[in-house]
């Protein structure tokens, strides 16, 4: 009876995991690039950083996706709460920067 080479199997699985982790990082980076653009628009038009209706719809959609993918919806919700809280924080930072720039521009115009 052949004994499987456990080291080779582990190495193969770990390489796949490493590749998936890299893809997740790149996907998160792309997601934040996109949500930062949302933050710029919100700041420009003085919209709130948080959109509770959008969040609710997202959680409902992601819960369905988690169930379809046989993932624990509670885990997905916790993960997305973390991601969304980071997005909101970034939106608030973008709004503060936009507000400061607008104030500086208004002051510069006032003195010219």
Question: How would you classify residue 46: left for phi > 0, otherwise alpha for psi between -120 and 50, otherwise beta?
Answer: left
Q: How far apart (Å, rounded) are the C-alpha atoms in residues 48 and 82? A: 19
Q: Cβ–Cβ contacts within 10 Å for residue 105, how many?
A: 10
Binned at pLDDT 50, 70 and 90, residue 102 comes out as: confident
Q: Of 47, 46, 57, nearest to 84 (Cα)?
A: 57
Domain ranges of the chain: 57-87
Task: Give the model's pLDDT for residue 103.
Answer: 78
pLDDT digits (tens, 9 = 90+) for 38-82: 999 999 999 999 999 999 999 999 999 999 999 999 999 999 999
Q: Of 110, 100, 91, 108, nearest to 43 (Cα)?
A: 91
* Integer-rounded Cα radius of gyration of the chain: 22
């Amino acid at each position: 009876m052949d004994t499987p080479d456990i080291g080779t199997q582990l190495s193969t699985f770990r390489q796949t995991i490493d590749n998936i982790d890299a893809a997740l990082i790149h996907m998160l980076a792309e997601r934040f690039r996109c949500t930062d653009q949302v933050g710029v628009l919100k700041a420009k038009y003085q919209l709130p950083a948080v959109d509770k209706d959008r969040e609710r719809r997202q959680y409902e959609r992601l819960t369905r996706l988690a169930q379809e993918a046989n993932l624990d919806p509670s885990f997905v919700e916790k993960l997305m709460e973390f991601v969304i809280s980071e997005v909101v924080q970034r939106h608030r930072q973008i709004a503060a920067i936009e507000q400061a720039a607008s104030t500086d521009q208004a002051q510069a115009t006032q003195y010219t």
